[in-house]
């Protein structure tokens, strides 16, 4: 069975468009939304993402919604399907940002194929 794994040098989850994520309205608080908005640059990317290496500059103190392993438990899809849900979400998000044939997508597919 495939297991979800975050890959280095990706950062796809650091580009976040709240209007496209209606499923978050019952999960995020008003304070969470305000924090996301304050963390988002004009280009849609988190201002704490070092774009030269796709690493979070506040990784150890990042908010709960940036901690995929913790935040995913808020979703019914994850509670029902576990890693399959996360793999599907990441596949869609990485594809929409970098493309289906991107190096990030190739790295993700390799990472989740490993047991």
Whether 5 maps to a domain, the answer reads no
**Would you state the pLDDT for residue 70?**
84
Whether 56 maps to a domain, the answer reads yes
Q: For residues 17 and 14, what is the distance between their CA atoms, to the nearest angstrom?
A: 10
Cα torsion for 34, 64, 102, 37, to the nearest 10°? 10
Contacts with 48 (C-beta within 8 Å, 6 or more apart), sequence order = 14, 39, 56, 57, 58, 62
**Would you state the pLDDT for residue 115?**
55
What string of pLDDT tens digits covers the 115 residues of the chain? 688 988 989 999 999 888 877 778 788 999 999 999 999 999 999 999 999 999 999 999 999 999 988 888 888 888 888 999 999 999 999 999 999 999 999 999 999 986 5
Whether 79 maps to a domain, the answer reads yes
Q: For residues 25 and 111, what is the distance between their CA atoms, to the nearest angstrom?
A: 30
Whether 38 maps to a domain, the answer reads yes
**Predicted TM-score (pTM) above 0.75:** yes
Q: Structural domain of residue 101, as residue ranges?
A: 12-113
Q: For residues 84 and 46, what is the distance between their CA atoms, to the nearest angstrom?
A: 26
Whether 63 maps to a domain, the answer reads yes
Q: For residues 43 and 107, what is the distance between their CA atoms, to the nearest angstrom?
A: 24
Whether 6 maps to a domain, the answer reads no
Domain count for the chain:
1
Whether 7 maps to a domain, the answer reads no
Whether 39 maps to a domain, the answer reads yes
**Would you state the pLDDT for residue 1?**
64
């Amino acid at each position: 069975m495939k297991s979800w794994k975050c890959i280095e040098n990706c950062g796809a989850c650091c580009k976040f468009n709240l209007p496209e994520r209606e499923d978050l309205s019952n999960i995020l608080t008003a304070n969470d939304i305000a924090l996301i908005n304050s963390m988002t640059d004009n280009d849609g990317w988190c201002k704490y993402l070092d774009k030269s290496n796709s690493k979070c500059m506040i990784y150890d103190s990042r908010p709960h919604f940036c901690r995929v392993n913790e935040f995913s438990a808020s979703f019914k899809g994850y509670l029902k399907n576990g890693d399959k849900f996360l793999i599907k979400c990441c596949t869609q998000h990485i594809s929409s940002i970098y493309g289906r044939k991107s190096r990030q997508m190739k790295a993700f597919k390799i990472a989740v194929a490993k047991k």
